[in-house]
């Protein structure tokens, strides 16, 4: 049975994509002329057989030098203008490495490895080239395109063809060759350094040879699709001041914005533990809302504070605020559950969850865990997933709806336990109340929920729709989410899960790390 490389060669012969010396083709034609005239089909088949035999002899007797020579000839065909174009793009990209509008499909990864061998053997090159675009809006969803400014590859939604994969391989080879060649020509004095090259070299290190880590935070308009290469099965994510915190059972990882991997930040838990909410204060302290397994098998809530280095500073006692009735959320049973929390500039902690006495909407504590105030349902109400967050003015805001079922936001007066500025009726009627609220990059607020991304400036009649949920690059159902300091929404989607049975009979599903992908979505208003 032919392997995939041989199948590729047979296909190339059938399509006459392998070019043989004229002497061989002429000899084949002479043999065919002497065959009986009525054997037309036979002639056609034997012609392919001869050509295939000659091609296989050439391929498997070819020296390494000859194979490299075919590829080198292709590289050397580029003129100096084209070489400089690749060279300048490498240095001037806003991001220091390539990124993609979607990850490779599994079949594409397998096929591109085989096509790489064929390409480097010098037997098959693409007919065309990747389309270079000036902005993401220029991509129309077809073919393969490349945005120079941010080194972003745009792939079509459907599985890519061999031609498209070959174009990607060809692009990489030409870009790498251009970087090496231009540097050699500059060192030898063969060319004068143009003003464009000089300007490019002073900007930063080459994009193609660096890492994405920590750089993407400075590009609030940059959409990224980054497959996760870490080892943690994710349960929850949260945006920090300059990073993303990832949590799984008994572990918290830290990931640089734009990175594909994460490193262990904290795992000093003496019981089976999961994080239900996490936030970082302006001072850098990290607040952890936890559910920890008790000796009886149920889960008990806990509230810990870590410093920036990941050292535990203190625990805040929640027992006086808890109800005794057991509740179950996401397979975890306990007598209270913190869904969201934020810390303001004064160190007040705003807790939103369920199972807390006399505070069905919000519980506000000081830095030592003492009660500051409580907010109850009344003229305005919130549900468990209603977002809370800090606005650009430093105040804490919460998503609410009124008795007429209109949706909006209101600031919180922590000492009085009342609402301050209220902006009601700003959401579309069919919107699901957002569960993220934060400062936008070019607006006072950005909201995220199952209806999509919205932005809002105080005083406007309605929110602006940035991206409806059906346009997001992944399925929002089941996706983890957080927001970055630059206003970008991060969604984490997983395509495969493992399952396990709980003692209470419930089945829990864990994300498989290598099937997990991060999507960075800008929240800027459309121009």
Q: How far is CA 354 from CA 215, 369, 377, in A?
A: 38, 17, 13
Q: Do residues 382 and 293 both lie within one domain?
A: yes
Rounded to the nearest integer, the mean pLDDT of the chain is: 80
Q: Do residues 329 and 417 both lie within one domain?
A: yes
d(CA 29, CA 26) in angstroms, rounded, equals 5
Q: Do residues 55 and 148 both lie within one domain?
A: no
pTM equals 0.64
d(CA 225, CA 367) in angstroms, rounded, equals 38
In a domain, 526, yes or no: no
Q: Do residues 225 and 204 both lie within one domain?
A: no
In a domain, 527, yes or no: no
Among 36-50, 122-136, 326-340, 359-373, the least confident range: 36-50
Per-residue pLDDT tens digits for 137-178: 788 888 999 988 777 888 998 999 999 999 999 998 888 888
Q: Do residues 73 and 16 both lie within one domain?
A: no
As for how many domains the chain has, the answer is: 3
pLDDT at residue 48, rounded to an integer: 52
In a domain, 336, yes or no: yes
pLDDT at residue 95, rounded to an integer: 56
* Residue that finishes a domain, picked among 178, 209, 240: 209
* Residue that finishes a domain, picked among 174, 209, 244: 209
Domain hosting 159: range is 69-209
Q: What percent of the chain stands above pLDDT 70?
A: 76
In a domain, 370, yes or no: yes
Q: Do residues 230 and 366 both lie within one domain?
A: yes
Task: For strands 131-133 and 299-306, give the pairing.
Answer: unpaired
The b-or-e profile of 182-207 (16+ CB within 10 A means b, else e) is beebeeeeeeeeeeebeebbeeeebb
Q: Kindly state the DSSP code that residue 455 receives in the 8-state scheme.
A: E
Q: Do residues 82 and 163 both lie within one domain?
A: yes
Q: Do residues 374 and 301 both lie within one domain?
A: yes
**121 or 22, greater pLDDT:** 121
Per-residue pLDDT tens digits for 294-333: 887 778 889 999 999 999 999 999 888 877 555 554 555 5
Q: Do residues 292 and 350 both lie within one domain?
A: yes
In a domain, 41, yes or no: yes
Per-residue pLDDT tens digits for 385-394: 889 999 999 9
Packing angle, helices 80-92 and 195-203, rounded to 10? 30
Single out the residue of 432, 446, 429, 433 nearest to residue 483, CA to CA.
Answer: 446
Q: Do residues 48 and 80 both lie within one domain?
A: no
Q: What is the CATH number of the domain that holds 240?
A: 2.120.10.30
Q: Do residues 251 and 183 both lie within one domain?
A: no
* Residue that finishes a domain, picked among 146, 177, 209: 209
Single out the residue of 264, 237, 228 nearest to residue 494, CA to CA.
Answer: 228
Q: Do residues 282 and 238 both lie within one domain?
A: yes
Measured at the alpha carbon of residue 150, what is the angle toward residues 146 and 156, in degrees to the nearest 5? 35
């Amino acid at each position: 049975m032919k392997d995939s490389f041989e199948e590729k060669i047979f296909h190339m012969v059938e399509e006459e994509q392998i070019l043989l010396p004229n002497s061989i083709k002429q000899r084949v034609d002479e043999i065919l002329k002497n065959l009986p005239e009525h054997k037309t089909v036979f002639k056609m088949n034997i012609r392919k057989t001869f050509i295939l035999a000659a091609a296989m002899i050439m391929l498997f007797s070819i020296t390494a030098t000859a194979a490299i020579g075919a590829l080198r000839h292709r590289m050397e065909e580029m003129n100096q203008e084209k070489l400089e174009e690749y060279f300048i793009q490498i240095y001037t990209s806003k991001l220091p490495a390539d990124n993609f509008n979607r990850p490779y499909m599994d079949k594409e990864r397998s096929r591109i490895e085989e096509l790489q061998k064929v390409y480097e053997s010098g037997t098959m090159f693409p007919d065309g080239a990747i389309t270079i675009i000036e902005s993401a809006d220029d991509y129309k969803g077809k073919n393969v395109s490349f945005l120079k400014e941010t080194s972003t590859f745009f792939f079509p939604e459907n599985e890519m063809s061999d031609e498209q994969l070959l174009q990607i391989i060809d692009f990489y080879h030409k870009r790498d060759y251009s970087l090496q060649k231009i540097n050699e020509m500059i060192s030898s004095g063969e060319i004068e350094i143009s003003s464009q090259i000089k300007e490019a070299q002073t900007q930063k290190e080459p994009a193609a040879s660096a890492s994405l880590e920590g750089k993407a935070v400075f590009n609030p308009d940059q959409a990224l699709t980054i497959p996760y290469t870490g080892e943690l099965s994710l349960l929850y994510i949260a945006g920090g001041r300059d990073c993303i915190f990832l949590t799984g059972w008994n572990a918290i990882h830290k990931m640089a914005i734009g990175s594909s991997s994460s490193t262990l930040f904290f795992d000093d838990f003496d019981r089976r533990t999961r994080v239900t909410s996490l936030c970082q204060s302006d001072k850098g302290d990290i607040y952890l809302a936890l559910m920890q397994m008790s000796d009886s098998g149920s889960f008990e809530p806990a509230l810990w504070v870590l410093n920036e280095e990941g050292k535990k500073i203190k625990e805040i006692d929640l027992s006086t605020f808890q109800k005794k009735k057991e509740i179950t959320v996401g397979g975890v049973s306990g007598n209270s559950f913190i869904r969201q929390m934020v810390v303001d500039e004064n160190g007040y902690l705003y807790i939103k969850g369920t199972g807390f006495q006399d505070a069905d909407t919000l519980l506000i504590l000081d830095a030592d865990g003492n009660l500051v105030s409580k907010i109850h349902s009344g003229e305005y109400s919130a549900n468990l997933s209603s977002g809370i967050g800090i606005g650009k003015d430093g105040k804490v805001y919460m998503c609410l709806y009124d008795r007429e079922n209109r949706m909006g936001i209101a600031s919180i007066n922590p000492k009085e336990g009342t609402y301050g500025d209220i902006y009601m009726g700003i959401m579309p009627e069919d919107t699901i109340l957002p569960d993220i609220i934060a400062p936008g990059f070019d607006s006072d607020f950005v909201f995220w929920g199952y209806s999509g991304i919205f932005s809002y400036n105080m005083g406007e009649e309605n929110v602006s729709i940035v991206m409806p949920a059906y346009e997001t690059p992944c399925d929002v159902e089941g996706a983890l989410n957080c927001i970055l300091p630059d206003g970008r929404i991060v969604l984490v989607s997983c395509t495969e899960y493992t399952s396990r049975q709980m003692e209470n009979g419930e089945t829990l599903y864990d994300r498989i790390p290598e099937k997990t992908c991060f999507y960075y979505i800008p929240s800027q208003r459309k121009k």
